């Protein structure tokens, strides 16, 4: 049974919040289509996050129209029931199911969209839609508006404003509601099981692919939809490749393994990175580097307070990382010059935080009027400093070459101070050492 913590009432409450933001307008969203994997086979369907956030419906080819200006308020267009097609590609909810199970006030077969959309948008002051995201949706909405415009002398009234629905939805998704938070906690809990299993099974000679398989087995068997993004398992120098997803090397004694993996539950993402010694003990040099990243991680978390912002967090982490690197002789130019001239990018090329939610890199503005956005209670973000010293780095001592370390936690901003949602996954080096190699690889 897949884990779902979201009752129908949660989706209804989200629609009510969004309707209140529409200012007499209408919202049109598309759930997305099946995508080809090769020839005539497809990837498993994953709905558009905004569409799912408001409906809970996971079917390709569905359109939502939410109307603030008239009844019916919540309209769904779905694929019609089709006994023969359902034998091949699975059950369909159909218009009746869209009403009965998903609470639509009205539901129609998708084929009726072009005919019905003009009437549904007639009199709406604005249309909120993800303009440019889906060509078919753009065409349907623009045609509907054009038809209304041409029939204005018969009294039909086209919307005069098209607004980006991703902003409307993004603002709501930034502050996690009770159910979003429950889904996130479930995703993070399952992600944590995967990480602890990966640490316990780690030993020299195991393949990166075996750790990947174990993580994803834990995710799936515990009821997650699967991984929320491409699982990264990098041993040694592979950890210095930020988006390393090949996972096809062997894990070697004396090196570190970086795992960046998260489960998806109810279409909410966990996003956790841990770095573990493959042979069970950090070397002194590895431990020096690890302690710097851990100090930066803790500094960043402490700054994830209401009113702070992710630039402030990034800068605080950068200072800790640069001071650490300078102490190891890796920034001969000095800390201030490294910060000013961004010389640290040689070892730390990415940012420290992103929003986390239904998308692993979640919706919502990062800046408001070019100013970093102050953190509010209910925001969830990652804190993920790292240091990556490629095997080819001629400045680093031998013991640090081919070492990549990242420590990534998911943090909820609260009035009482940050809550680390990923606290159950060890990051203290002694706790990691105690766990590595403790169970056989299944």
Q: What share of the chain is helix, strand, coil (3-state, %, to 5)?
A: 40, 20, 40
If binding is defined by CB under 5 A, does position 382 make contact with Mn ion?
Answer: yes
Instruction: Name which of residues 27 to 86 contact ligand GLY (CB under 6 A).
Output: none
Rg (CA), the chain: 25
> Which of ligand GLY, Mn ion, none does residue 433 bind to, with CB < 5 to 8 Å depending on kind?
none
Q: Using the rule CB under 5 A, is 410 a contact of Mn ion?
A: no
Does 384 bind ligand GLY (CB under 6 A)? Our answer is yes
42 is catalytic: no
- Check residue 212 for interaction with ligand GLY (CB under 6 A): no
Point out the catalytic residue in the list 195, 388, 401, 409: 388
Q: Is residue 271 a contact point for ligand GLY (CB under 6 A)?
A: yes
Is 359 a residue that touches ligand GLY (CB under 6 A)? no
Smallest distance from the beta carbon of 360 to Mn ion, in angstroms? 6
How many other CB atoms are there within 10 angstroms of residue 179's CB atom? 18
Told to check if 359 binds Mn ion by CB under 5 A, we report: no
335 close to 342: Cβ distance less than 8 angstroms: no
- Per CB under 6 A, the list member of 81, 109, 229, 423 interacting with ligand GLY is 229
| β-bridge partners, 162 | 127
What value, to the nearest 5°, has the Cα angle with vertex 34 and ends 62 and 41? 150
- Between 108 and 348, whose beta carbon lies closer to ligand GLY? 348
Choices 101-109, 242-250, 400-408, 409-417; region in contact with Mn ion by CB under 5 A: 400-408
Query: CA 290 to CA 308: how far, in whole Å?
Result: 26
Q: Does 271 bind Mn ion (CB under 5 A)?
A: yes
> For residues 231-270, which are near ligand GLY according to CB under 6 A?
260
User: Quick one: which segment of 86-94, 274-282, 367-375, 377-385 binds Mn ion (CB under 5 A)?
Assistant: 377-385
**Toward ligand GLY, which CB reaches closer, 124 or 360?**
360
Which residues have a Cβ under 8 Å from the Cβ of 152 and sit 6 or more positions away? Answer: 158
- Residue pair 247/233 in contact (Cβ under 8 Å)? The answer is yes
Tokens 């558009």 -> residue: 48
409-412 and 380-383: which strand pairing? Answer: antiparallel
- Strands, DSSP E only, in 292-408? 367-368, 371-372, 380-383, 386-389, 403-406
Q: Per CB under 6 A, does 360 bind ligand GLY? A: yes
Task: Name the pairing type of β-strands 256-261 and 272-277.
Answer: antiparallel
The residues carrying an active-site annotation are 40, 243, 260, 271, 350, 354, 361, 384, 388, 406, 408
Provide the binding-site residues for ligand GLY, judged by CB under 6 A: 229, 260, 271, 354, 360, 384, 408
């Amino acid at each position: 049974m897949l884990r779902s913590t979201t009752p129908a009432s949660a989706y209804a409450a989200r629609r009510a919040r969004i309707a209140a933001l529409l200012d007499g307008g209408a919202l049109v969203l598309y759930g997305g289509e099946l995508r080809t994997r090769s020839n005539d086979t497809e990837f498993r369907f994953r709905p558009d996050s905004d569409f799912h956030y408001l409906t809970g419906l996971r079917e390709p080819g569905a359109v939502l129209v939410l109307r603030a200006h008239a009844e019916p308020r919540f309209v769904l267009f779905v694929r019609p029931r089709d006994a023969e097609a359902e034998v091949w590609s699975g059950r369909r909810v159909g218009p009746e199911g869209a009403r009965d199970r998903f609470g639509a006030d009205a539901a129609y077969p998708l084929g009726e969209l072009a005919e019905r959309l003009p009437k549904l948008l007639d009199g709406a002051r604005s249309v909120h839609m993800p303009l440019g995201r889906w060509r078919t949706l753009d065409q349907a909405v623009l045609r509907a508006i054009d038809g209304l415009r041409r029939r204005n002398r018969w009294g039909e009234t086209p919307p005069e404003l098209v607004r980006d629905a991703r902003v409307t939805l993004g603002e709501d998704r930034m502050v996690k509601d009770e159910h979003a938070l429950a889904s996130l906690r479930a995703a993070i809990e399952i992600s944590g099981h995967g990480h602890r299993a990966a640490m316990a099974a780690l030993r020299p000679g195991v393949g990166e692919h075996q750790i990947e398989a174990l993580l994803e087995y834990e995710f799936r068997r515990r009821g997650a939809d699967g991984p929320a993004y491409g699982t990264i398992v990098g041993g040694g120098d592979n950890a210095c490749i930020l988006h390393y997803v090949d996972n096809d090397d062997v894990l070697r004694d004396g090196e570190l393994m970086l795992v960046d993996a998260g489960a998806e539950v109810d279409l909410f993402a966990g996003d956790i990175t841990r770095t573990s010694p493959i042979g069970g003990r950090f070397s002194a040099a590895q431990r020096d580097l690890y302690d710097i990243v851990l100090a930066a991680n803790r500094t960043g978390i402490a700054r994830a307070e209401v009113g702070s912002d992710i630039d402030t967090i990034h800068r605080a982490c950068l200072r800790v990382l640069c001071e650490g690197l300078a102490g190891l002789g890796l920034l001969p130019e000095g800390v201030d010059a490294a910060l000013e001239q961004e010389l640290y990018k040689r070892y730390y090329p990415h940012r420290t935080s992103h929003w986390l939610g239904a998308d692993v890199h979640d919706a919502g503005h990062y800046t408001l009027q070019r100013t970093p956005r102050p953190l509010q209670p209910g925001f969830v973000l990652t804190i993920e400093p790292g240091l990556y010293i490629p095997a080819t780095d001629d400045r680093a001592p031998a013991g640090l070459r081919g070492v990549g370390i990242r420590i990534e936690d998911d943090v909820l901003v609260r009035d009482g101070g940050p809550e680390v949602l990923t606290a159950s996954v060890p990051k203290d080096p002694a706790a990691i050492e105690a766990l590595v190699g403790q169970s056989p690889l299944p």
